[in-house]
Structure 1
């Protein structure tokens, strides 16, 4: 085994650093030496605009792809939900870590009686067009406000604004040990594809990095997130379409829920399916094509 440490590329937010240190710990357990290299992304530097206004997908990830291409890091650690479904040429997605809770949480600012009343007039903070569209589909009279920034910043913004609540991923809050006591699980909201999964990429052809990554890959996380991301890729999603998908494995079956919404939440195509686990490689695109046939094509035309 090589004596030189594996250089782990990461964004420098608190959550990203937590993820990188987790990967470093797992690699050390597997017998590798490690070194963490932190970089800043365009998405971290500009937190005022909604994500879909900052350009293409990969807003948080391109800087790490560049670091791999420049050979300043050997592997890069990502929140897989932020990573493009098609890695750039020369970069391989080679490991999926154990999935944290994939669901979204509502963090209310106070009284929550309004959650049972679809006609209530309240304001909710979220920077995600997927969350916004699903929320407005359920609560058409609500208003949403843009919410960006790291875990701590978002919780602070809830205190500073006259909002009834904000929506956040359970995974990030759990990893930061920052789940508020009053958090409500949104069991009806379909998460982002691969939400809760940490993904690791490396340069194509770097056999040492590949060998290290393969030691960390969790097959169930790989299968479920690959199905979800294939669904997204076939619908031509990325950051620009309100698409949710969640796959779960039970025995020799995969159970799947997927949805596509119009930006304002008025239109929805949602499917629930299951199939043999052995077919997992083609399921995501198959189910996305069903959504397209069930009316998704019209929604996608509008989004473009």
Structure 2
């Protein structure tokens, strides 16, 4: 039997989150191929990245040319639109969408950080939210993989970090989390905490192998959030945030879609939140309202 060739970014984070996928696909023979990921985990300025899929182009090219059979993506970093010839064949069950605070002093929280404390993040979304919530803090651009950012914290380059809680948990660093930050304070990126498995559209054999990892609830939320990104012209590091949340009461299921646009300095935000029976329809209506209130232009205003 030919091995299933799986492509993932060559970062500690990507390889760590790929390991459980390999285990779940066993006993199928597999080969894991790491990719450098131009512009991904390298020491580059993420803030001005103004296109979707900048972290996944190399892997997608390998998938299209047949060098690999499956690409592992963090959905928030994947292309907003499906690349012709490729499809998201499976969405794994979603993890915690919240960001978290990591500090040198484990007793400190976002509300108790001293005035002037330095908080490291290269995310436009997080920076805008922090400036809106705690304008007295100094937000410091800090790039690179999570383990490198943690080293900067230990070396006293910054007082605190804001990172994705799912990243800390996947790396086995849950004990380092000082505070899970409410989405009402820092709204997550669309597609947060979702791992997607991408295949060639016509490769039915591989699609059958990975479909057993698929979570239907995550798919509904993921597709609603991708729709918001598509409609709003968003990308991974834009000042655009939101999520789709599944609500279950007895036998009734509804979906709450939140779409939030914010200026880079955090001074102005438009926040739309709607609940409906159909996630896609609710997401489309949320986009229409966000556009109506000027959300598409808001990120360019600063």
2: CA distance, partners of 1:117 / 1:37: 44
Supply the distance in 1 between the matched residues of 2:285 and 2:114 (Cα, whole angstroms).
37
Match of 2:4 among 6, 9, 15: 6
Candidates 29, 32, 42, aligned match of 1:33: 29
Q: Is the 8 A contact 1:52 1:239 kept in 2?
A: no
Deviation at 1:300, TM superposition (A): 4.2
Q: 1:158 aligns with which of 153, 166, 174?
A: 153
Instruction: Note the 1:1-304 alignment, pairs <5 A.
Output: 3-28=1-26, 32-44=28-40, 46-47=42-43, 49-54=44-49, 56-110=51-105, 115-116=110-111, 120-181=115-176, 183-187=178-182, 188=184, 189-251=186-248, 252-276=253-277, 279-302=278-301
Q: TM-score, normalised by structure 2?
A: 0.90
Aligned length: 296
Would the aligned equivalents of 1:190 and 1:257 in 2 still touch at CA under 8 Å?
Answer: no
Whole-angstrom CA distance in 2 between matches of 1:281 and 1:51: 30
Task: Name which of structure 1's ranges 158-167 and 263-272 shifts more when overlaid on structure 2.
Answer: 158-167
C-alpha distance in structure 1 between counterparts of 2:45 and 2:154, whole Å: 20
Q: List per-residue Cα deviations over 1:60-104 (Å, max 9, x = no partner).
A: 211110110121100100111111111221111111001111110
Alpha-carbon deviations, 1:151-194, whole Å to 9, x = none? Answer: 21111111224423110001011011112445211113211112
Unpaired stretches in structure 1, ≥5 consecutive residues: none
Structure 2, unmatched stretches of 5+, are: none
TM-score by length of 1: 0.90
CA RMSD of superposed structures (Å): 2.1
Moved more, 124-133 or 286-295: 286-295
DSSP-derived class of the 2:158 partner: coil
More helix by share: 1
* C-alpha distance in 1 between matches for 2:172 and 2:237: 30
Superposed CA deviations along residues 33-80 of structure 1, whole A, max 9, x for unmatched, are 322111111124631x32133563322211110110121100100111
Contact conserved, 1:243 with 1:258, CA < 8 A, in 2? yes
Give, in whole Å, the separation in 2 of the partners of 1:205 and 1:61: 20
- For residues 114 and 64 of structure 1, the distance between their equivalents in structure 2, rounded to whole angstroms, comes to 38
**Contact 1:190–1:258 under 8 Å retained in 2:** no
